[in-house]
Amino acid sequence: MALKVAEVFDKNNIEDMTWNIIHDIEWRWYIDEDVHGIQYSVFKAIAASVRNTESKTKEDVIKYVDNDYFLLFQIKDKIKDRESEGFEVKEEHISYIKNSCA
């Protein structure tokens, strides 16, 4: 994740990331790649890290997204209340996450 975050900063010549900047980068990506409806997890992670802040440096964002609790929260947020969309959390998924985080 850290390498992909750094790539977003470097490719876009960003020193201090804000929510508006990552939103614009993400929007351009949707248009350029013609992938409407798809979520790119790196953009979502950066956006989550700068939400409710003025701005963050590349190093600050990397530190934030490399935190295991942040990653677990992102997983939880993606899988909760998704049954109506046909998404089912199985015991094997939970076991995999627990074993991977041990």
pLDDT one-digit tens code per residue, 41-60? 888 899 999 998 899 999 99
pTM over 0.85: no
Decide: 5 and 42 in contact? Cβ < 8 Å.
Answer: yes
Q: Where are the domains of the chain?
A: 2-82+89-100
Neighbours of 49 (CB within 10 A): 22
d(CA 101, CA 6): 24
Please write the tens of the pLDDT for every residue from 13-49: 999 999 999 999 999 988 888 876 667 788 889 999 9
pLDDT greater at residue 68 or residue 4: 4
Mean pLDDT score across all residues of the chain: 85
Across the strands, what pairs with 57? 16
Measured distance CA(10)–CA(73) in Å, rounded: 26
How far apart, in whole angstroms, are the C-alpha atoms of residue 87 and residue 29?
A: 26
